[in-house]
Amino acid sequence: MDRRELLKAAMAGTLTWRVGPAARAQTDAASLPAQPGDRLVRLGDSAKNPLTPGDIAVGAIQTTAVPMDEKTGTLRSGSRLNQVLLLRFDPSTLMPETRARAADGVVAYTAICTHNGCDVDDWIAGEKILSCSCHTSMFDPKDGAKVVDGPAPRALPALPLTVVDGLLVVAGPFTSKVGFEKG
């Protein structure tokens, strides 16, 4: 093997090594984004019980869930980008655009703050506002999770829902890119 052939082989091996895991991640069902038809399951539920609107109490703290492939039962929990926050409201209190994406008053938003990617982990019950404890960005879940305070540059992406056979089901992709703005 001459030097040129050795270099070509080395480069091919390096490219295969670098691209290999990324290619596998794209086909890993657990890491794929939520798909229409996916059921929602409470994060940490080893029994994988699909959630119903009745499982989400009106006005209560958010429930963290992940989508589950209806056909294979695979939880899409391989990426934190798939974690969603579920809240339930009286549908008449939701803004029209939010109501159109809700299922029986249940709304779903990404759990990742659009500011620095921290978890949106607080619920301000009196104001019915989601909050990120990292930098205190606050979001109104009744109005498309629009930013009401803090440094977040945009609303939380919403995940449209529907009810099928009494279960909460993903109706479409997130309304915008999940994640934060790189500054």
pLDDT tens for residues 4-35? 554 455 444 443 444 444 444 456 889 999 99
Give this prediction's pTM. Answer: 0.84
CATH class of 31-170: mainly beta
29-78: pLDDT as tens digits: 899 999 999 999 999 999 999 999 999 999 999 999 999 999 999 999 98
The pLDDT value given to residue 4: 54
Q: How buried is residue 131: exposed, middle or buried, by Cβ count under 10 Å (0-12/13-18/19+)?
A: buried
The pLDDT value given to residue 140: 98
The pLDDT value given to residue 1: 55
